[in-house]
Amino acid sequence: MSDVPPPLPPDRDAPAAPPKSGVWPALRAAVSRMAQGHFHTLLYAAFGLIAALLILFAGFWQALLVIGLVAIGAAIGLYQDGNAFLRMLVARLLKRLS
* Among candidate residues 83, 78, 84, the one with its CA nearest the CA of residue 45: 78
pTM: 0.42
Residue 18 pLDDT > 70: no
Distance of CA 87 to CAs 36, 82, 91, Å? Answer: 20, 7, 6
Phi, psi at residue 17, to the nearest 5°?
-65, 145
Going from N- to C-terminal start, the domains of the chain cover 37-97
Residues 40-86 pLDDT 10s: 888 888 888 877 777 777 777 777 787 788 889 988 898 888 889 98
Q: 3-class SS at 13?
A: coil
Q: Are 53 and 66 in contact, with CB atoms under 8 Å apart?
A: yes
